[in-house]
Amino acid sequence: MKTVTFEVFRYDPDKDKEAYYDTFQVELRRPGYLLLDALNQIKWELDPTFTYRRSCREGVCGSDGINVNGVNMLSCMTKVEDLGSDHLVIQPLPGMNVMRDLVTDVDDFFNKFITVKPYIIRKSPNPDKEIYQSPEDRKLLDGLYECILCGCCSSSCPSFWADKKYLGPNAFLRAWRYIVDSRDEGAEERLPILNDKHGVWRCHTIYNCVEACPKELNPTDAIVKIRKMLLDQQI
């Protein structure tokens, strides 16, 4: 049975003065063995104090973003064999404060998400029945609505690391998802927020966020479209 070395970031604020790395030998027990299977093997068989987030195991909840050999990914969507290495360095998502081991504080990430008003805003009087959306208008949401809020994009973004107030690629993708929604009437509320000095103009269009997204979404494309809308409207 093949064995892979996992060099894992460890930090428990209740007992560690500083972070360190622990090394575990993990057995790949079947073809398609997932990173999450490997983390479970460490916790359940080698060190029960090891801490990380996971829930759905299906690429839906977005809770298990981690950094492996310098690349952000979901542990439940990644086969160890696909990483092509016998030595994996496992770290929490960069640019986020570590609470313990691989668990990061996601408050800042979610606060930025909320800042762009990620919900349908209506100005018109409420209709008597549901608001019709044509198949063509619904199609505009493809590539936007699938975001699972894993944070892999924002956590890979140099602007997000450098500017603590930068809203980040996830917030921009979310804002665009609602701006293009035919039922939404909130663009004029969102655009000034996106036009802020910590908004879309801070992006250097280097596409880290696109490469990091496990759902193959394109936050940079959303950023470019928001910029164009801002320029067209001279906001």
Residue 20's SS3 state is: strand
Instruction: Indicate the helix (H) or strand (E) that contains 194.
Output: helix 187-194
> Which parts of 7-61 fold into alpha helices (H)?
35-41
The distance of closest approach from Cβ of residue 103 to ligand SF4 in the complex, given in angstroms and rounded to an integer, is 17
Q: Which is nearer to ligand FES, 61 or 99 (CB)?
A: 61
| Residue ranges in contact with ligand FES by CB under 6 A | 54-57, 59-64, 74, 76
Binding mask 116-155 for ligand SF4 (x = CB under 6 A): -------------------------------xxxxxxx--
Backbone angles phi, psi at 5, to 5 degrees: -85, 125
CA distance 16 to 6: 20
Work out whether 219 is an interface residue with ligand SF4 (CB under 6 A): yes
- Candidate ranges 82-90, 117-125, 178-186, 215-223; the one touching ligand SF4 (CB under 6 A): 215-223
Work out whether 222 is an interface residue with ligand SF4 (CB under 6 A): no
Backbone angles phi, psi at 161, to 5 degrees: -70, -40
Output Rg (C-alpha) for the chain, integer angstroms.
20
Q: Which is nearer to ligand FES, 59 or 94 (CB)?
A: 59
CA distance 98 to 106: 9
54 binds, among ligand SF4, ligand FES, none (CB under 5 to 8 A by kind): ligand FES
Q: Which is nearer to ligand SF4, 67 or 159 (CB)?
A: 159
Binding mask 167-186 for ligand SF4 (x = CB under 6 A): --xx--x-------------
Q: Which is nearer to ligand FES, 66 or 226 (CB)?
A: 66
> 197 CB contacts (<8 Å, ≥6 apart)?
none
CA distance 98 to 196: 28
Chain length of the chain:
235
CA-CA-CA-CA dihedral for 154, 159, 164, 165, to nearest 10: -90
The distance of closest approach from Cβ of residue 63 to ligand SF4 in the complex, given in angstroms and rounded to an integer, is 11
The position carrying tokens 């996992």 is: 6
Q: Which is nearer to ligand SF4, 11 or 176 (CB)?
A: 176
The distance of closest approach from Cβ of residue 210 to ligand SF4 in the complex, given in angstroms and rounded to an integer, is 7
Residues of the shown chain interacting with ligand SF4 in the complex, contacts defined by CB under 6 A? 147-153, 156-157, 159, 169-170, 173, 203-209, 212-213, 215, 217, 219-220, 223
